[in-house]
Structure 1
Amino acid sequence: MAPLRVLELYSGIGGMHQALKESCTSAEVVAAVDVNTLANEVYKHNFPSTLLWAKTIEGITLKEFDRLSFDMILMSPPCQPFTRNELLQTLETCGFKYQEFLLSPTCLGIPNSRLRYFLIAKLHQEPFSFQAPGQVSLLVLLEFALFHGD
């Protein structure tokens, strides 16, 4: 089976890319997108072979999206604009199945109790392979341990 082709939006310094790598999932990040120039410098140092676009996601054309031919999107967007808007309604309208989680790094033994919002969505209708926050993939949770010091 071919590796998943992954697009990383709001890539920052590459926390989600590293989490994907640590998960041992057969995947390749085909492009990363972030507007922050300092974060992009660190990302390029961490992942020099990954295509990095220094632009907003609104600046990506449909042709550019199509050319990437990605299977999955990873992103760590700023919270307010995405968790408060009509994201869930959009996901449902487009046929996505999703699960939401409020998780704390303490569930991994990391001494930081700040709750974080995670949403995992997929287009297929099969059920998720986990039902409780304790069963959430390491792919999602490693981002806490590797790149969040707040």
Structure 2
Amino acid sequence: MLLPEDRILGQARLGIAMFLPFMMLLLTSCVIPVKRNVTIGELMRGQVLAAETGQPIQGARIHYENVKPFEATSDTNGYFVLQPIHLNRIYWMPPAPVDPPPWTWDECKYRLIISASGYLPNTFERERYKLFARTPEELQIGPKDPEYFLFYLKKDK
């Protein structure tokens, strides 16, 4: 019968046994870091209106779920522009005889939250992927004329 201490020690040995080969590959240059651009979301513009009256809502917050720093606020006419999020990530890849082609990963699977004081929040979900863009034209983020969205918020009772 294994004691709890023996089980923990066995798990620690397994973790070290899995970690050491990766470190050896890293130290012998069999795995190299490669920087890649990742874009989350897309350029969006639109207007936030009251569902009951159709009047524009000033000061509504539009932001990506779980990514609060990237947000837009509607102006006096309810208009907003929300920019995509551009991130640089590092992937560990085996070396190649030539430089890898440029590519980006546009992860357009996101959830927007639209909220304003005195109104119930609204959500918007979208999913679109573009993997391994290889030409400079494909690396441009978003369409030249972004889609236009209307969001309606209902009064909070």
TM surpasses 0.5: no
Bigger share in strand: 2
Bigger share in helix: 1
Greater gyration radius: 2
Normalising to structure 1: TM-score of the pair?
0.24
